[in-house]
Amino acid sequence: MKFISGKLRAAGSLVGLAIGDALGAPIEGSAQREAWVTEMLPGGRHFRKKGAITDDTIQAVAVAESLAACGEFNQKDLILRLLCGYEKRPEWYGPTSSAFFALVKSGTLPHQAAWLVHKRRHGSRSNGSVMRGFPVGIFYPMPYVYEVSLRCSQLTHYDPVPAHCSAWLNVMVSDMCRGVSKNAAYRHARSLCTNPEVHRILGNYTEYTPVASLDAVLCSHAALSCFMNAYTFETAILSAINLGGDTDTAGACCGALAGAYWELDAIPNRWRRDLEDYEHILHCADQLWTCQEHYAAEVLKKRITVRFPASRQPMQMRQRDFYASQD
């Protein structure tokens, strides 16, 4: 049962991200709405058909595919996959990511490109690295998820604020995919955060009005607030996309959290039917969760080997390992 639930939560998180992205994209940049949008719509800043995804989902899927293909976080592989997505639709990407990929295409090393963008733009605390990072939370358990989230964010965004926002939300997704309640996952993320600004705002989310901004901490706060205050997947997503502003990214971040908690089956069928590339996104989530199970098994095996060298392992443990290897 835990195995099945884990797969449903992983699928819920990645599909939920794409649903929030597709619902929010047509109204991106608008003011907060009095009459709520509740269905998939065509249109938007770059006209899209109903249910079409944006770079938010494209980048998140790239992270998921890289983790599944490599079996771990691989900077070189991920950069190539992200760059491939950028080259297909560069007009969809935000200013920080666009400047970064332009430099990488010209031959600049990724870590140098991230620093140069940060310096030239007088900062790099936009939300682009937050919305793509959720597959890290699906894949990595504790204690690895926080550190890998920081590394994944800082590939493109030199500023530490987006990195710690991503790590906070990814810790919650990691915990919830593994059966932890949303309140416990929130408390866990709060206990791990070492960035004062992120800890102050996300750690006291009820004290601030949610604003779906391009700013990483404000966008993360908006997504977190909508999720924590909701009682269903649907109400969480609708609360996020109807804030106005950067609605696709707020929706994507909220959807990743909500899907990890309420699972795939809680996502309304009418939204799933309209979602572009639904089957492919679902397949990516399935592959990612299957791969993380192998990763978790290898980590456990290494821990046992370090604690009990083979010649000294208790007989019962050696028997258990043997039986596990026969499955």
Sign of the dihedral through C-alpha 29, 35, 36, 37:
negative
Contact 274, 50 (CB under 8 A): yes
Burial 145-168 (b: 16+ CB within 10 A, else e): bbebbbebbbbbbbbbbbbbbbbb
43 forms bridges with which residues in the sheet?
Answer: 48
Task: Return d(Cα 150, Cα 148) in angstroms, integer.
Answer: 5
Mind listing the pLDDT tens digit for each residue in 58-68? 999 999 999 99
Mind listing the pLDDT tens digit for each residue in 128-144? 999 999 999 999 999 99
**pLDDT, averaged across the chain:** 89
Neighbours of 87 (CB within 10 A): 10
Residue corresponding to tokens 């059966």: 179
- Return the percentage of the chain with pLDDT > 70, whole number: 89
pLDDT for the residue numbered 304: 53
Which residue in 75, 76, 78, 105 sits closest to 90, CA to CA?
105
pLDDT for the residue numbered 169: 98
Contact 73, 98 (CB under 8 A): no
- Asked if residue 151 has pLDDT above 90, the reply is yes
- Asked if residue 295 has pLDDT above 80, the reply is no
Structure-model confidence comparison of residues 45 and 287, the more confident one: 287
- pTM value is 0.89
DSSP count for the chain of H helices, then E strands: 17, 0
Average pLDDT over residues 278-301: 86
Residue 94: band (very low, low, confident or very high) from pLDDT cuts 50, 70, 90: confident
Mind listing the pLDDT tens digit for each residue in 1-53? 455 688 999 999 999 999 999 999 999 878 777 678 999 999 877 778 999 99
Task: Return d(Cα 155, Cα 147) in angstroms, integer.
Answer: 13
Residue corresponding to tokens 């010649």: 311
pLDDT for the residue numbered 5: 84
Domains for the chain: give ranges and CATH numbers: 2-326 (1.10.4080.10)
Task: Return d(Cα 166, Cα 136) in angstroms, integer.
Answer: 9
Residue 302: band (very low, low, confident or very high) from pLDDT cuts 50, 70, 90: low
Mind listing the pLDDT tens digit for each residue in 168-217? 999 999 999 999 999 999 999 999 999 999 999 999 999 999 999 999 99
Which residue in 87, 101, 11, 86 sits closest to 56, CA to CA?
86
Task: Return d(Cα 262, Cα 285) in angstroms, integer.
Answer: 15
pLDDT for the residue numbered 90: 86
